[in-house]
């Protein structure tokens, strides 16, 4: 009887452990499946940012990386340690601006406007290719090489002078299905500063920026600077000149 009792007790313990292990396994499988599902984003919707990043980003708010000026007079000083975050469509941005871009896009979608980042960070070689292609386009339209180069530079920054190489500039357009371009541009013009972004190349500042109006190009400068730039109707060059 004693042997039989012990054997029965051991068998019961074994069954109990087996049930627990199966439950844990099912829970893990479900968690993996949910994690996989959460990675399936549409229209550039960025993933959630964890609390650890938020704390690190608060520290970065005290630095001046947000106000680096890049234009023809101030070519880019390349940094090899830039940390980038990849969006769901393959475009990349400086990791430090990621949570602000995410929040802005979430709020736009909540109002029925669906944006997409069509161009984020670019390497110098990628910028060079875009620059060359734009020159070739104007030459094909009948301009001389010199004329084509001058015209191209109104629309495409010379390699080494593009904010896209900073990772802080993004070209934002409509998804082409749920929204129109003008809806995105109007919303950004009125609201982007609340998230730290500015319309970098406005129509009335081309004589200062050297770039034609680009209603899709937005640059992260931080909320304080963005608020003042928007309120005063100035561009980044004017803001930095007055600091």
Q: Which residue has the tokens 């081309």?
A: 206
CA dihedral 91, 96, 102, 105 (to 10 degrees): -70
Q: Tell how strand 197-199 and strand 115-119 pair up.
A: unpaired
Q: How far is CA 234 from the centre of its chain?
A: 23
Helix (H) or strand (E) holding 219: strand 217-220
Are residues 171 and 118 in contact, defined by beta-carbon separation less than 8 angstroms?
yes
Specify whether 214 is catalytic. Answer: yes
At residue 214, the 3 state secondary structure works out as coil
Q: Which residue among 214, 228, 237, 238 is the active-site one?
A: 214
Six token digits for residue 177: 């299905």
Residues 6+ apart with CB under 8 A from 153: 210
Are residues 66 and 168 in contact, defined by beta-carbon separation less than 8 angstroms?
yes
Q: Which residues are catalytic?
A: 214
């Amino acid at each position: 009887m004693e042997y039989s009792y012990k054997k029965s007790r051991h068998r019961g313990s074994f069954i109990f452990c087996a049930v627990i292990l199966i439950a844990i396994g099912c829970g893990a499988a479900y968690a993996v499946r949910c994690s996989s599902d959460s990675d399936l984003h549409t229209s550039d919707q960025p993933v959630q940012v964890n609390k650890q990043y938020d704390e690190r980003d608060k520290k970065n708010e005290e630095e001046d990386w947000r106000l680096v000026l890049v234009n023809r007079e101030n070519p880019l000083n390349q940094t090899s340690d830039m940390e980038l975050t990849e969006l769901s469509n393959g475009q990349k941005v400086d990791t430090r601006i990621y949570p602000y871009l995410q929040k802005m896009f979430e709020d736009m979608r909540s109002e029925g406007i669906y944006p997409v980042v069509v161009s984020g960070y670019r390497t110098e070689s990628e910028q060079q290719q875009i620059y060359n292609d734009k020159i070739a386009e104007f030459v094909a339209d009948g301009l001389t090489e010199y004329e084509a180069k001058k015209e191209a530079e109104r629309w495409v920054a010379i390699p080494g002078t593009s904010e896209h190489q900073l990772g802080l500039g993004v070209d934002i357009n409509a998804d082409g299905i749920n929204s129109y371009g003008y809806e995105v541009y109007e919303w950004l013009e009125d609201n982007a500063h609340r998230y730290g972004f500015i319309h970098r190349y406005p129509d009335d500042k081309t004589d200062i920026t050297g770039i034609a109006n680009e209603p899709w190009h937005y640059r992260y400068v931080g909320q304080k600077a963005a608020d003042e730039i928007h309120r005063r109707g100035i561009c980044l060059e004017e803001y930095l000149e007055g600091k």
